[in-house]
Amino acid sequence: MYRRLLVPLDGSELSETVLPYATETAGRLDLDITLIHVRKPEKGEGSPLHESYVRYKATVAKKKVEEVWQRFGLDPAKKSLDVRGELVSGYPAEQIVRYAEENGVDLILMATHGRSGIKRWILGSVADKVLQSSTVPVWLINTETAEGVAYEKWPKRSIIVPLDGSQLAEKVLPHVEAMAKQRSIEPMDVILVHVTEPVIPLTYYSPSARVETAAGIKHVMPEDYERELLVKQKRFATEYLDYMAAQLKKKYPHVQAKVLEGDPAREIIDFAENLPFSIIVMSTHARGGMGRWAYGSVAAKLLQNVPRPILLVRPKSQ
């Protein structure tokens, strides 16, 4: 599914924190890499310097990918690898999206800045615009994660996949499978997660909230009715996740299912916090930006609060 990885660099050290993820993933999945540096038109001269910068980074990246191959007993001389540095002129978000669409890019890898969310991207508002416009999946690396244990030294890798029961959310699964099948000594665990939200207290109870008794019909007490609804929700969620896990296991065996209860964003954040060596993979809606996620505002909250890599996928049918 993935053949070419695009990595935008703006010349800063923070933007370069994604490079270990790029080279490690490229080595494990046999991906070609393009490093792109966008020079704004008003910058004037400086192209030779910028071009030397991005091409030098490409040379270093190629050596790193070959080191990954050697670590897994592969001979770089017997394999084909295309790692290039490209300098383009224009406005960053537009050029990143255009380059990806015109050059067969399958995945865009970008850096985020700390826990301040979408407004604090190392590329400014560029990433937000890329997210809204790109039909190519975008993999976001929080610099807090990058400052921890180096990606190539992660002892165990897990993929957290939030599913809300919609077909849209499920369209992320082929990407999950592709990410999971990385060349590795230890297999990656895929964890499908669904969060059942608390039952909202009702002021009116339908006929289903009534039961026949020897003395006649009576209303079930509200707490009993709500408790029963929650039990049903958990049962449906468990059956749903078990089914989705069984389908995915036909292609990749290391799959788990986890049903949580509470506020979706908070529960997923807490769950991810307890898995330090994990990647979150989610689907998005259409081209509506941060306010149109399959899980509502959940993805935006994850970006703001979880120092974990997040892969965001927009289904092509959208």
State percent of the chain over pLDDT 70: 79
Domain 156-305 belongs to what topology?
Answer: Rossmann fold (3.40.50)
- Structural contact between residues 36 and 88, judged by C-beta atoms closer than 8 angstroms: yes
pLDDT attached to residue 102 = 95
Q: Kindly provide the residue ranges of all beta strands, DSSP E only, lying in the chain, ordered along the sequence.
A: 4-8, 32-39, 83-89, 107-112, 138-142, 158-162, 189-196, 210-213, 216-219, 255-261, 278-283, 310-313
- Please name every residue paired with 219 in a beta bridge, in sequence order, or none if there are none: 210
pTM reported for the whole predicted model? 0.84
Q: What is the mean pLDDT of residues 232-241?
A: 91
Instruction: For 206-232, write each residue's pLDDT tens digit.
Output: 666 566 666 665 555 556 666 777 788
pLDDT attached to residue 297 = 67
What secondary structure letter does DSSP report for 94?
H
The pLDDT confidence band at residue 132, using thresholds 50, 70 and 90, is confident
Separation between Cα atoms, residue 168 and residue 63, nearest integer Å: 38
- Structural contact between residues 98 and 289, judged by C-beta atoms closer than 8 angstroms: no
Say if strands 138-142 and 210-213 run parallel, antiparallel, or are unpaired.
Answer: unpaired
pLDDT at 56 over 90: yes
Backbone phi, psi, residue 187, to 5°: -70, 150
pLDDT at 114 over 50: no
Mean pLDDT (the chain, rounded):
83
> Residues 215, 217, 221, CA angle at the centre, nearest 5°?
105
The pLDDT confidence band at residue 162, using thresholds 50, 70 and 90, is very high
Give the DSSP letter string of 216-268.
EEEEPPHHHHHHHHHHHHHHHHHHHHHHHHHHHHTT-S-EEEEEEES-HHHHH
**What sign for the dihedral angle of Cα 215, 220, 223, 227?**
positive
CATH class of 1-153: alpha beta
Q: What is the mean pLDDT of residues 245-267?
A: 93
- Where do you find CATH 3.40.50.620 in the chain? 1-153, 156-305
| CA distances (Å), origin 5, targets 15, 69, 78, 177, 188 | 15, 17, 21, 17, 20
Instruction: For 163-196, write each residue's pLDDT tens digit.
Output: 988 888 898 999 999 999 988 878 899 999 999 8
- Please name every residue paired with 87 in a beta bridge, in sequence order, or none if there are none: 37
